[in-house]
Structure 1
C-alpha cells in the first residue's frame, strides 16, 4: 500500500498490536475524543467479535491502548464466553 499512500500524500495509520489472552484476541482500538482518547478494543475468538467501547477518556493514545487491553482482559475474566451473547 505504500504506493497509494505516496500517490495521494497520506500516511497509513499504524495498526495496533494484537494480544492473545486466554484464547481471545484483543486489538486495542481507542477512539479520538475532543479531550483525549476514549478506551476501546475488539475482542475476538472463533470468528465471534465483541467491540468494547468505554466512556473513559485518557490524554494519550498510548495510555488509552494500554487501558483498553487491561479493560478487555477484565471483561474476559468476568464474562468469558458470555461476551458474545
Structure 2
C-alpha cells in the first residue's frame, strides 16, 4: 500500500507483510518490521499476545530512522521490549 493510500484511508486488500521470525519476550511476541523510507529504514513493528484465547496486537511506528535494516531491526526490538516493560497489557486497550 502506498504512503498516500495509507495517509488518505485507502484500504489494503491483502496483507503484504513479509514473514518475520518473532522474538518472545515476557509472554509477548515481537515482530520487527522496519520499513524502507527513502534511503533510510524506519522503526516499525508489532507486539502480540494471546489473552483469554484471543490474539491481541499492537502495531507501532516511530520517527527514528536508521542507515541499515539490521540496525533498524535491533532498535525496533529494543523499543518493543521497552513498550512491554512500561505498559504491558494496557497497550491493547
TM-score range, shorter chain: 0.7 to 0.9
Provide TM-score, normalisation by structure 1: 0.80
Higher-helix-fraction structure:
1
Count of residue pairs brought into register by the alignment = 73
Moved over 2 A (4+): 13-17
Q: Residues 4-32 of structure 1, C-alpha deviation per residue, up to 9 Å, x if partnerless?
A: xxxxxxxxx96332100000000101011
Structure 1 residue ranges without an equivalent (≥5): 1-12
Superposed CA RMSD: 1.4
Structure 2 residue 83 is matched with structure 1 residue 75: yes
Provide TM-score, normalisation by structure 2: 0.74
Structure 2 residue ranges without an equivalent (≥5): 1-16
User: Over alpha carbons, which structure has the higher Rg?
Assistant: 1
Q: Pick from 60, 72, 88 the counterpart of residue 64 of structure 1.
A: 72
* Partner Cα separation in structure 1 for residue 72 and residue 80 of structure 2: 12
